[in-house]
Structure 1
């Protein structure tokens, strides 16, 4: 969590500063507000520009962390709803994160399979380049297995 000076704590932040702090683009911040993921943001009376209070910024920083894990909007919405419910929603929060963790682990396994396939292609072409018939045959065999795993 970022620390603020007394002046910054009292001030509301413009969208450009919130984008910098969260890593979200300005368009994403506006989109999250438009779909109700983020509560309507106060506007400056004179300019109409969005002004985010510290509570909103902290919530957006938490959402940015979740988004970085690949969590989708609906899961983030469930997370926020559970946060509002407090400790009684602990089991629901745990399940939400267990499900997301399992999804991420499946994605990691898919990435490992893709990496093994690419390694097989490297070995195949290196064997062809070197005129190594045995190396080429072994790479083709491995690629056959991996091709099935990629489907």
Structure 2
């Protein structure tokens, strides 16, 4: 384990080890603006990061685990980089996520009801007249009836 001091810059591999985030992902985060670009390199050319990047990466991981997109996270971090606490923006993003989840739950409940209704009327051996013009009469019975009503 690498010991972290407040003033000792860390190589990208050390950051990866300490954060649990791959070097490739850290480079990607730097590329898309989630991490402050490194201005310093070691004499051998390694990227060097301020240890405070660990706090930033921890925030990114937590925000992603709550469903925030990298774009949303970047906007939040930009607010912080301007010297403001982004708690209001974070709250707004989380409220939007909760509403989206509520809508998904409602849609899933409708789907569950439809599936339960279909299964309640399931026939393991549909009649031969039903089977003649369908792939699975149990599944297509409703759509076949709707089609006949349309045409």
Give the TM-score taking structure 2 as reference length: 0.58
| Cα pair distance change 1:75/1:30, threshold 3 Å | same
Secondary structure of the corresponding residue to residue 24 of structure 1: coil
Map 1:1-151; keep pairs closer than 5 Å.
Answer: 7-10=3-6, 11-84=8-81, 85-87=83-85, 90-107=87-104, 116=112, 128=124
Q: Is the 8 A contact 2:40 2:47 kept in 1?
A: yes
CA deviation after TM superposition for structure 1 residue 104, in Å = 4.3
- Partners of 1:47 and 1:105 in 2: how far apart? 52
- Partners of 2:104 and 2:35 in 1: how far apart? 28
| Cα pair distance change 1:91/1:64, threshold 3 Å | closer
- Partners of 2:37 and 2:53 in 1: how far apart? 10
From the two aligned structures, give the one with the greater helix fraction: 1
CA deviation after TM superposition for structure 1 residue 107, in Å = 5.0
- Partners of 1:108 and 1:17 in 2: how far apart? 41
Displaced runs of 4 or more, over 6 A: none
The structure that has the greater radius of gyration is 2
Deviations 1:37-92 (A, max 9, x none): 211124433221122222111111111111222321110012112324425x5433
Structure 2 gap ranges (5+): 126-137, 144-151
Structure 1 gap ranges (5+): 132-138, 145-151
- Partners of 2:101 and 2:17 in 1: how far apart? 26
Q: Is the 8 A contact 1:23 1:64 kept in 2?
A: no
Deviations 1:95-117 (A, max 9, x none): 1221133334545666x56x959
